[in-house]
Amino acid sequence: MIHWRLSSILLMVLLSISLIAPACSAQQADEMIAPVCSAQQADEKLKVVCTTSVLQDPVQFIGGEKVEAISVADPTMCPHLQADILPNRLQLNREFIRTADLFVAYGDNNDVSYNMPAVNDFMKANGYGNVTWVESAAPGAGWNTPEKSKALAAEVKGWLVAEDPANQDYYEQRYVEYVKTFDAAGPTAEEREQLGQTEVIVMFWQKDPVENWLGMKVVNFFAPEFVMNGTKTPAKLVDDINANPEKYRNVKYVIENMQSTELAKGVEEALKDKGINAKRVIFTNFPGSVPDTTTMADVLKYNKLLVLEQERTPAAAETTPAGAVAILAGLAAGSLAAAGKRRR
């Protein structure tokens, strides 16, 4: 009898559950599952392919833990000489590129001529589909001053928000933090006074930051042959030094650009032949091109310190050779590549 009663109660419970269950709609069931799905999605980072480290830096910093970014181009090499190495760099990041959510480009001549076509061809050859690029609205503006880097960062923030609006507040906060990193890069009042009294010869790509950000006195500049119809080549600058040595009498530095190979060695030698003891220093344009230049703010600070006279401390003496070796290695690689390939 007791066994019969227990069976009856169990049957009633099962019937009650079966009657109540339909009242739980499909929509409610979806809502119950949704938090689990959202948590899984939240763990997935936005994958961003950047043409250069100039974009990878702000993308990764502003994106923070929400983003993973890579750079297609090698930051140590001249953009015109990267065609031979890009396929290998793309292959090494094959899976990342295949599954990337966003492709971003600065959109200057180097991107349009080399980096973007390399990615497009890679995607097509592997059957990964077509690339939709997001590009800077001002590809001719440059990035190697604090203000220009901040302007580019604002664009980057907009790209991330457009792709991932759910994390807009996070990106906004990270952007503010990124902009603040440039405050320490700029010259102090004391440094600016010193730099303002320093005469230099500078490579064309570095003329704007040297003249308008650091405030140095640019006596003349030089450029590759394909710039300004070949009127500002190092050879023509050497001719001017020989013809007008007094014009260059107080030049203290010859500022080279790392990614443009060794253009100014002959300029330095011409000055020394005239008794002008100018020192050749090598600025860089790209984060990651020399040690301790992870960000663009690091790059600007690094360049600034090269032309500031400071007493060498033991710590500085130990760290300086590492940067010098990296620069010389990059220049040597560019020079070797240039020897086997005509620059466009």
CATH number of domain containing 101: 3.40.50.1980
Decide which of 146, 163, 180 is a domain's last residue.
180
Only one residue has tokens 């400071």, namely: 310
**Domain co-membership, 174 together with 194:** no
83 backbone dihedrals φ, ψ, rounded to 5°: -55, -35
What residues have CB less than 8 Å from 81, skipping those under 6 apart? 261, 334, 337, 338, 341, 343
100 lies in some domain: yes
Q: Are 123 and 129 contacting, i.e. CB atoms less than 8 angstroms apart?
A: yes
In total, how many domains does the chain have?
2
**Domain co-membership, 102 together with 232:** no
What count of other Cβ atoms lies within 10 Å of the Cβ of residue 136? 21
142 lies in some domain: yes
- Classify burial at 254, counting beta carbons within 10 Å of its beta carbon; exposed 0-12, middle 13-18, buried 19 or more: buried
- Eight-class DSSP state of 187: P
* CA angle centred on 126, ends 123 and 128, rounded to 5°: 55
Using CA atoms, how far residue 3 sits from 6, 7, 10, 200, 257, in Å, is 5, 6, 11, 103, 93
**Domain co-membership, 150 together with 220:** no
Query: What pLDDT shows up at residue 195?
Result: 95
**Domain co-membership, 196 together with 176:** no
**Domain co-membership, 205 together with 139:** no
Amino acid at 260: S
Residue-range definition of the domain harbouring residue 55: 43-180
**Domain co-membership, 50 together with 115:** yes
Query: What pLDDT shows up at residue 216?
Result: 97
**Domain co-membership, 170 together with 206:** no
Direct distance between the N- and C-terminal alpha carbons of the chain, in angstroms, rounded to an integer: 99
pTM, whole model, 2 decimals?
0.77
pLDDT in tens, the chain (344 residues): 444 444 454 445 444 444 444 443 444 434 433 333 333 344 689 999 999 999 999 999 999 999 999 999 999 887 778 888 999 999 999 999 999 999 999 999 999 999 999 999 999 999 999 999 999 999 988 899 999 999 999 999 999 999 999 999 999 999 999 999 999 888 999 999 999 999 999 999 999 999 999 999 999 999 999 889 999 999 999 999 999 999 999 999 999 998 877 888 999 999 999 999 999 999 999 999 999 999 999 999 999 999 996 433 444 434 444 444 444 444 444 444 444 443 33
**Domain co-membership, 194 together with 309:** yes
Q: Are 332 and 317 contacting, i.e. CB atoms less than 8 angstroms apart?
A: no
**Domain co-membership, 247 together with 137:** no
Per DSSP, the residues of 257-270 read EGGG-S-SHHHHHH
77 lies in some domain: yes
> Among 229, 221, 194, which Cα is nearest to 308's?
194
Decide which of 145, 180, 215 is a domain's last residue.
180
* CA angle centred on 279, ends 273 and 282, rounded to 5°: 130
13 lies in some domain: no
Decide which of 180, 200, 229 is a domain's last residue.
180
Query: What pLDDT shows up at residue 43?
Result: 61
**Domain co-membership, 219 together with 307:** yes
328 lies in some domain: yes
Give the span between the Cα atoms of 7 and 137, in whole angstroms.
75
1 lies in some domain: no
**Domain co-membership, 199 together with 335:** yes
**Domain co-membership, 252 together with 300:** yes
